Amino acid sequence: MWGALKPAEPAGTCDLCFFQERPIRMAVQWFYLSFYALWFLGLMSIILTIYWMQLWHGGFAWDGTVLMFNYHPVLMVVGLVVLYSAASLLYRLPQSWTGPKLPWKIGHAALHLLAFILTVLGLVAVFQLHRRSKITNLYSLHSWLGIVTVFLFACQWFLGFVVFLLPWASVWLRSLLKPIHLFFGAIILSLSIASVISGINEKLFFSLNNATQPYSSLPGEAIFANSLGMLVVVFGLLVLYILLASSWKRPEPGILTEGQPLLRDGE
């Protein structure tokens, strides 16, 4: 009687379904495992940066003093690394793969804009300190990396807004510029990580340049900040892994239909 209710299937169909669904489930599980690990690392990077500035450098104050500078590393980690990564990974969420794309585009642009605003505030903090203390601007490799990164970030956001969010651009133009947009997105993230790492190192060289606690003796602050730097590197590598994994990319229009699973291995 059960056989009468169930349509006949070709031989081997169930076995084929089993072998198709297994990599799909594994891809979904690996995505969410990587996703939750990523945001744990990002949150820890922010908390540890705040703790570093609070414990070893006196906390925060927006008054043009060295306490104002302490906002600089925090805002750069939050804006240029964590929020930038969040905006970049928005299209990797399986929930974004079906339905209208416009809300996800707006969210992508808005998160990037918020990240850019926080990054600019981080630059204001350091330039204000330099101006009041009569310190030369943009003389170190760290500052050069940072300015180039922020400049590319601004160009990337403007290009994305004009070409991909506004409705005037043709499909041909968007298809032409999309690989460039994706390439520079990964480049900016890599430069952001390099800027943060070089900034941590530069701050330690300035802070631990006395005879009692030289950087080379690895005092507590050096161990803590070096560990923070390694955490930021691991975070950035995981973001790049998720961005580059082909099985987690948003399918092109027409590839994903309503009855298909969200994640397909190798797509």
Residue 30 has pLDDT above 50, yes or no: yes
What DSSP state is assigned to residue 262?
S
Cβ proximity of 195 and 145 under 8 Å: yes
pLDDT band at 34; cut points 50, 70, 90 = confident
Cβ proximity of 80 and 145 under 8 Å: no
Residue 253 has pLDDT above 80, yes or no: no
**pLDDT at 16 (0 to 100):** 39
Name the burial class of residue 14, with classes exposed (0-12), middle (13-18) and buried (19+) by CB atoms within 10 angstroms of its CB. Answer: exposed
Question: Average model confidence (pLDDT) for the chain?
Answer: 85
Read off the pLDDT of each residue in 160-181 and give the average, rounded to a whole number.
Answer: 92
Which of 19-33, 62-76, 158-172, 234-248 shows the lowest per-residue confidence on average (mean pLDDT)?
19-33
Rounded to whole angstroms, the Cα distance separating 196 from 260 reads 41
**pLDDT at 248 (0 to 100):** 72
Read off the pLDDT of each residue in 110-139 and give the average, rounded to a whole number.
Answer: 96
**pLDDT at 174 (0 to 100):** 92
Overall size of the chain counted in residues: 267
Q: If you compute the radius of gyration of the chain from its CA atoms, what whole number of angstroms results?
A: 23
pLDDT band at 4; cut points 50, 70, 90 = very low
**pLDDT at 21 (0 to 100):** 55
Rounded to whole angstroms, the Cα distance separating 81 from 79 reads 6
- Structural domains of the chain ordered from first start: 32-244 (1.20.120.1770)
**pLDDT at 212 (0 to 100):** 77
Q: Give the count of alpha carbons within 13 A of 5, CB side only.
A: 2
Residue 28 has pLDDT above 80, yes or no: no
Q: What is the pLDDT of residues 96-118, one digit of tens each?
A: 877 888 999 999 999 999 999 99
**pLDDT at 262 (0 to 100):** 39
Q: How far is CA 186 from CA 41, 85, 89, 180, 239, in A?
A: 19, 10, 11, 10, 9
